[in-house]
Amino acid sequence: MDALELLRHDHRRVEQLFRDYHTAANDRQRRGVVELLVRELSRHAALEEMFVYPLAKKVVDDGGREVDEHLGEHLAVKKTLLALDRLDEGDERTDELVAQLRREVEEHVREEEDVLMPRLRAAVSQPELDDLGQLLTKAKQSAPTRPHPHAPDRPPALILAGPVAAAYDRLRDRLQRRPRT
């Protein structure tokens, strides 16, 4: 898949996770879905911030402004993810935070798919998008799995902080027996 197809695929996966949350039979299943949402959205945001947004900033007209808007949306999502991540199974606030997260993600996805992605596709060659897709696929394996709203969200600081956060996240995931995807 090229980079934009890969990002769209991630978006569809997250949409399915929201549906799974609402059809879960009990608090344990809902908590499992929340943990997957935290993991998938954290990895997805990190990849966009490390690779996609810097490219968009360079090649899309007024890309800096558009990227800044997306980074602001990411920050809101990360804060909601962090709040969800800190809750225990069965916490009464979970439904409300999942609903808030869904609204934030739906807005962000709509703007990316309707505005940013078509502009990127027009500005970048297919071979470059294919190469970026391969890079994203590889980088996804070592991306952070938890939200870090106070960490840098732009290179070069992000490139340095990302692997450290990812290593820490994976250790926490193992110790807490979080699901792997």
Q: What is the per-residue pLDDT across 118-150, written as a single tens digit (0 to 9) for each?
A: 999 999 999 999 999 999 999 998 888 887 676
Taking 70 as the threshold, does the pLDDT of residue 156 lie above it? no
**Residue 114: strand, helix, or coil:** helix
**Residue 81: strand, helix, or coil:** helix
CA dist 24 → 9, 17, 20, 104 (Å): 22, 10, 6, 21
Let me know if residue 43 belongs to a domain: yes
**Would you say 108 and 74 are in contact if contact means Cβ atoms under 8 Å apart?**
yes
Can you give the CATH number for the domain in which 114 is found? 1.20.120
Higher pLDDT pick, 162 / 131: 131
The pair of structure tokens assigned to 112 is: 């990316």
Identify which of 37, 43, 31 has the alpha carbon closest to the alpha carbon of residue 16.
Answer: 37
Let me know if residue 140 belongs to a domain: yes
Please tell me the distance from the alpha carbon of residue 91 to that of residue 85, in angstroms, as a whole number. Answer: 11
pLDDT computed for residue 123 by the predictor: 97
pLDDT computed for residue 145 by the predictor: 83
pLDDT band at 180 (very low <50, low <70, confident <90, very high): low
Identify which of 43, 105, 39 has the alpha carbon closest to the alpha carbon of residue 77.
Answer: 105
The one-letter code for the residue type at 155 is: P
Identify which of 101, 76, 97 has the alpha carbon closest to the alpha carbon of residue 87.
Answer: 97
pLDDT computed for residue 142 by the predictor: 84
Taking 60 as the threshold, does the pLDDT of residue 152 lie above it? no
Let me know if residue 180 belongs to a domain: no
Structural domains counted in the chain: 1
Let me know if residue 10 belongs to a domain: yes
Let me know if residue 181 belongs to a domain: no
Which residue is listed with tokens 């499992």? 32
Q: pLDDT, tens digit, for every residue of 100-122?
A: 999 999 999 999 999 999 999 99
Cβ-count burial of 100 within 10 angstroms (0-12 exposed, 13-18 middle, 19+ buried)? middle
pLDDT computed for residue 147 by the predictor: 78
Q: Which domain holds residue 149?
A: 3-175
pLDDT computed for residue 23 by the predictor: 98
* Percent of the chain at pLDDT exceeding 90: 76
pLDDT computed for residue 11 by the predictor: 98
Residues constituting the chain: 181
pLDDT mean across residues, the chain: 89
pLDDT computed for residue 172 by the predictor: 63
Taking 70 as the threshold, does the pLDDT of residue 21 lie above it? yes
Let me know if residue 56 belongs to a domain: yes
Please tell me the distance from the alpha carbon of residue 32 to that of residue 6, in angstroms, as a whole number. Answer: 24
State pTM to two decimals: 0.86
